[in-house]
Amino acid sequence: MTWQADLFVYDVASGETRRLTDDLECLPMGGMPGEGASQPVWLDERQVLFHAVRAGGSGLWVVDAEGGAVEKVAWWQAQHAGMSSDAANRYVAQSRTTMETAGQIVVYDLQTNAQQVIVDPNKDVLTEHPPAQWERFDVERGGQTIEAWLLRPADFDESKQYPVVLDIHGGPNGFYGYALSPAHQSLATAGYVVVYSNPRGSSSYGREFTQMVTEDWGGEDFQDLMAVMDEALKRPWADASRTGVTGYSYGGYMTAWTIGQTDRFKAAVCGAPCFDLESMYGTSDISHVFGELQWGGQPHVSTEWYAAHSPSTFAHRATTPTLIIHGEADERCPIGQGEQMFVALIKAGCDVEFARYPGAAHGFRRAGHAEHRLDCWQRALDWFNTYLD
């Protein structure tokens, strides 16, 4: 099984399925909960246009349906969703978010290679409430280039010192990139520097990079993240004495892992953690398949691996004040994972708070009740304000 999406052609008449690609540099957007797929567009009898993401940014590619050759058409420092074309297949419409905008509808002209914004519903509110400033930087480590982003408050003053929060994406084969994130903006516009990156295991960089995290959770991925934080803290206005860490799902795993490995962070917000991988194997909706592929087999086969890579093994060493956020109806990372972490941190003597959201599924921060989403963002901000002030 691969964590890298590829393109196939299905012949309706014969019932034959034929694979077109085997190792794309980009990640075709096949959809996910809360976000529909970007349907490919047949430009003619052979050429198929598809939307994909490369290095955290969206683009358009064309694949030859006969030979499988792939050619890049365009790439942007933005993230797009959906894809519709006109009858002549000249214009392509998509929704778009960038680091400064959200909710736009854009049209791309395949003949002139020009893109036009035709709907910009958030222009006025983002003018009145400017989003965070941002920059991109790279970290070279272990033969890999790790891409990272840094957000600064909109009213940034380089003569001041700012607390720094490291945010870790889910997956582990998710990715961060060129998009306006409410969770990131809620921190950055409140006076925080927010750092996030795509450590090895992230998607949108090709199959080899994506699969580097397999059977190595908490290994090189963790080292990548610490190196990114080290690089961010070289900035004179980044206060190394006031640092926080946060993440959700696999990002929650990595947050829980981090506080058991180091005391460098003064506060943590841990969302829907994978805390004890052995118990998660039998309770998550996907771990009986996903877990065997990512974790090297069933628990009785890989007993030592499960123990060595579970945050639960090291939680007794944690000292970081931690807020745990979890939906009670989460089937992906069941609530029991958060409950175990809460008990372990209490026993370790940590300051810890457990926020449970009734009826909330795994994706509630993106697609759940508005009051739940607002509450978890506000709780995270309040937690960091308490310990990083």
Task: Show which residues are catalytic.
Answer: 249, 362
Closest CA to 198 of 152, 167, 219: 167
Task: Let me know if 353 is exposed, middle or buried by CB neighbors in 10 A (0-12, 13-18, 19+).
Answer: middle
DSSP 77: S
Alpha-carbon distance 176 to 134, whole Å? 14
Alpha-carbon distance 249 to 97, whole Å? 23
DSSP labels for 312-333?
A: GGTGGG--S-EEEEEETT-SSS
Alpha-carbon distance 191 to 157, whole Å? 10
Alpha-carbon distance 141 to 139, whole Å? 6
**C-alpha distances in angstroms, 333 versus 202, 315, 344?**
19, 18, 17
Alpha-carbon distance 243 to 166, whole Å? 8
Closest CA to 70 of 59, 84, 86, 85: 59
